[in-house]
Structure 1
Amino acid sequence: MNFFEAVETRRSVYALNKEVKVSDDRIKEIVEHAVKHVPSAFNSQSSRVVVLFKGEHEKLWDMTTEVLKAVMGDADFSGTQQKMDMFKGAYGTVLFFEDQAVVGGLQEAFPAYADNFPIWSEQTAGMHQFAVWTGLATEGIGASLQHYNPLVDERIANEWNVPESWKLRAQMPFGGIAQPAGDKEFKPLDERIKFFG
């Protein structure tokens, strides 16, 4: 599969199961390769990742369910429960963080760019998410990107001993593809791109 085929293969897949056809070691290789080689401003390498497999993954979504139930109170939880069950039914979850100690250090070292370092950190986070997501897709693993932060941040930090300076940016449940992503609509490229010269 070439690069453009890999980019096209990456989709938001929500219907996931535990039937992954590659080893945990292969999944670790994908994550490690992305974290090592994805670029960052000033080569800051501010992205941090935690990968949860099997029971640890299920624990995450049970915790998230508890937190959301507390937030929603007496409101109808059935739709949210379906999502939580769907994510829990996946094989694992990748948690993406940005280390604010790194960002703060760069702000101190380069005050002229201080306002930009948090923005550049978010760009780095997005690139890491895309690289891991695409890497998983090339192995036939489906995934989606979720954002239950900051509601779950404290519980996650306590459960998996996450350093205080790591700021949770996204959660990516992944697993076997129980149902592929549907058709995707594309806006006209001439409304989105300009070429000159």
Structure 2
Amino acid sequence: MSTTIDLLRQRRTQYALDKTLPISREATTELIQQAVEAAPSAFNSQSSRVVILFGGASDKVWTFAKDALRPLIPADEFADTQAKLDGFAAGAGTILFFEDQGVIAGLQEQFAAYADNFPVWSEQSSGMAQLAVWTALAEAGIGASLQHYNPLIDAVIAAEWGIPAEWTLRAQMPFGANAAPFGDKAVMPRDARFKVFA
């Protein structure tokens, strides 16, 4: 049985994706839902919201990103951007992570002494949900990466899938079969990152 650390090490950024999955769409959906439900949140706010897209619906995200970026990037430099986005579209699906601002506002009203902290805690909750999903996918043999094309694509995403106005897009996670092996991961020296006192 894998340990928690083994699973966290197995979670790696995968840009080489394929549309096949080692488990069914239904099992993938269930896995994502369970991972989000298991992730912690401040005051058990459960402010994370997730949209799971497969196939053509997933492809639309990366078409939207291309359309949003094309006017912003010089034409002679756009090929690299297009190749990167096409790589995300090569996957089996995309997970859209949102945070529900209505939940955050409600907590700010209910617990005024902590009002300034709730947006920060919401971002932390979102990050934990993203890590939980990514790690669960990795354990299932599904590759993924975490992308941030928000806010460029927020409006078109909201219009396409009827996203409530209170939901703020925080990240996009394209996923699919691992179409290439992982390279080595560089790790900083521990003395540059940690301090231990007794």
TM-score w.r.t. length of structure 1: 0.96
Task: State the Cα deviation string for residues 86-122 of structure 1 (Å, max 9, x = none).
Answer: 0111110000000001111111111111110000000
Q: Is the partner of 1:64 in helix, strand or coil?
A: helix
What residue number does 2:105 align with?
104
Question: What letter matches 1:38 in structure 2?
Answer: A
Q: Report which stretch shifted further, 13-22 or 133-142.
A: 13-22
What residue number does 1:54 align with?
55
* Structure 1: gaps (5+ residues): none
Partner Cα distance (2:98, 2:52) in 1: 11
Q: CA deviation at 1:64?
A: 1.3
Q: CA deviation at 1:5?
A: 1.1
Instruction: Answer yes or no: is 1:171 the counterpart of 2:172.
Output: yes
**Mapping for residues 45-194 of structure 1, pairs under 5 Å:** 45-72=46-73, 74=75, 76-194=77-195
Provide the aligned C-alpha RMSD in A: 1.2
Question: What letter matches 2:156 in structure 1?
Answer: R
Q: Is the partner of 2:105 in helix, strand or coil?
A: helix
What residue number does 2:16 align with?
15
Partner Cα distance (2:59, 2:152) in 1: 17
Q: CA deviation at 1:190?
A: 2.5
Partner Cα distance (1:90, 1:23) in 2: 14
Q: Which runs of 4+ in 1 moved over 2 A?
A: 70-76, 194-197
Q: CA deviation at 1:37?
A: 1.6
Q: Report which stretch shifted further, 184-193 or 70-79.
A: 70-79
Partner Cα distance (1:194, 1:73) in 2: 45
Partner Cα distance (2:151, 2:106) in 1: 23
Q: CA deviation at 1:68?
A: 1.1
Partner Cα distance (2:161, 2:29) in 1: 17
Partner Cα distance (1:191, 1:68) in 2: 37
Q: CA deviation at 1:75?
A: 5.3
Partner Cα distance (1:191, 1:59) in 2: 42
Percentage of identical aligned residues: 53
